[in-house]
A and B are shown apart, each in its own frame.
Chain A
């Protein structure tokens, strides 16, 4: 089996993802639509939270992908720093807006879900607050990419920012927990596995998580292709201008 580093070659990446993309996209649609329909129509209400428990099928997968997208960007940034594969840097750039949208979905659904319980449209619950900070990190990362013209410089600077940002995001998580530990004890929004999520909720949730994950992969494939092509176009135009 060939090494995964072969896909660092931009052309090979595009060829391979061209073949994979239709399948991943189709699977994503099936899982997402199937999971959401299952959860929305075919699950009961929670005795405490009523029908709002149905928001879980959006909120939890989105929140998970918000974190996973950043982790993927971190890995891709490290690969760029160490091995200087352009595809890696471009993949990180491609993933960021997807992660940012996932974060917004997590925030909006989290806030809406919290409203009936806390009576306000926004609550400085530690988890929601951490996601708000994560959103700011995403914005900064995306903004830095856009602000720099030279592709290699942009890749270098944004990869370091991603690294430093990751450390501070973790620090912020602990700081925010410390900051709001006294309030809303036990009223956190997520239903962890340990909290006995009944099977009837858990299975459609897993399908939705798979759907969001596959959606992320499909979008990153597509968007990285775009970045590769855009970069090549810029390079060709620059060469044209010089000759």
Chain B
């Protein structure tokens, strides 16, 4: 499992691996928002936590097809599936790799981008913690979507249609926690709900991901 993880991480960071693209996209989205909504900084402050959550979510979404695509194309996915590693572990490792390469950098970038959007001081802790707890769920759910559509040519748009509704609970609780933090309110409840969803998803969804991956590899 460790070997698979290091291999995926190495593949991601070397040239052509797409590392940093998610971050760049996150930055671009945040920069575009003031152009879209006008320069009023009070407005930015009010919507900052939501925009940052959405930007991170979309950056995650766009990098999902990398999870299986390369291995599918060169046939190594078949080999991995027949290896002694259980498929559930395979998809979990893939999700973990995605989170380390895409999700975690977004969490680190969010407070920096928060400055651009005039995020209130009270919001930083809630933003970072909610993203830290939420992005793993985004990776695991995204892995399910990627496994579902791995055999479909140009299935990226379909995958987004399938994955985005699944992201709704995480987005609602994560953004709510961030927003309450920014408003100076208590954000315990949404952060706990968010953590609960993430734990449940990590524990259970790999079984579904493995099942659909096996179907696609038949």
Q: Do chains A and B touch in the complex (CB under 8 A)?
A: yes
- Asked whether A140 and B161 contact (CB < 8 A) given A153-B218, A175-B173, the answer is yes
- Alpha-carbon distance A128/B183, docked complex (angstroms): 27
- Alpha-carbon distance A137/B168, docked complex (angstroms): 11
Which residues of chain B are near A176, meaning CB under 8 Å? 168, 172
- Asked whether A147 and B152 contact (CB < 8 A) given A133-B165, A157-B215, A163-B208, the answer is yes
- Which A144-167 residues sit within 8 Å CB-CB of chain B? 144, 147-148, 153, 156-157, 160-161, 163-165
CB of B69 closer than 8 Å to a CB of A: no
Q: Which residue of A lies closest to B214 (CB)?
A: A156
CB of A136 closer than 8 Å to a CB of B: yes
CB of A191 closer than 8 Å to a CB of B: no
- Alpha-carbon distance A164/B216, docked complex (angstroms): 17
Would B211 and A178 count as touching, CB distance under 8 A?
no
Which residues of chain A are near B148, meaning CB under 8 Å? 144, 157, 160-161
- Asked whether A153 and B215 contact (CB < 8 A) given A164-B205, A179-B176, the answer is yes
B contact residues, range:
20 to 34
- Alpha-carbon distance A163/B215, docked complex (angstroms): 15
Q: Which of B169, B208, B212 contacts A175 (CB 8 A)?
A: B169
- Alpha-carbon distance A148/B197, docked complex (angstroms): 30
Which residues of chain A are near B162, meaning CB under 8 Å? 140, 143-144, 161
> Smallest Cβ distance from B130 to chain A, in angstroms?
14
- Alpha-carbon distance A163/B144, docked complex (angstroms): 12
Would A148 and B164 count as touching, CB distance under 8 A?
no
Which residues of chain A are near B18, meaning CB under 8 Å? none
Would B197 and A171 count as touching, CB distance under 8 A?
yes
> Smallest Cβ distance from B178 to chain A, in angstroms?
13
- Alpha-carbon distance A177/B103, docked complex (angstroms): 27
- Asked whether A164 and B208 contact (CB < 8 A) given A156-B215, A175-B173, the answer is yes
Would A179 and B172 count as touching, CB distance under 8 A?
yes
- Alpha-carbon distance A179/B189, docked complex (angstroms): 12
CB of B158 closer than 8 Å to a CB of A: yes
- Asked whether A178 and B208 contact (CB < 8 A) given A143-B158, A144-B158, A165-B165, the answer is no
* Nearest 5 Cβ contacts at the A-B interface: A175-B172, A171-B169, A175-B169, A136-B165, A156-B215
Which A residues are closer than 8 A to B by beta carbons?
Answer: 133, 136-137, 139-140, 143-144, 147-148, 153, 156-157, 160-161, 163-165, 168, 171-172, 174-176, 178-179
- Excluding A140-B161, A165-B165, A168-B165, 13 further A-B contacts by CB distance (< 8 Å) are A140-B158, A143-B158, A144-B162, A153-B216, A161-B162, A168-B166, A171-B169, A171-B197, A172-B172, A174-B169, A175-B172, A175-B173, A178-B189
7 pairs, CB–CB < 8 Å, chain A vs chain B = A136-B165, A144-B148, A153-B216, A160-B215, A168-B168, A171-B197, A175-B193
Which B residues are closer than 8 A to A by beta carbons?
Answer: 144, 148-149, 151-152, 155, 158, 161-162, 164-166, 168-169, 172-173, 176, 189-190, 193, 197, 205, 208, 211-212, 215-216, 218
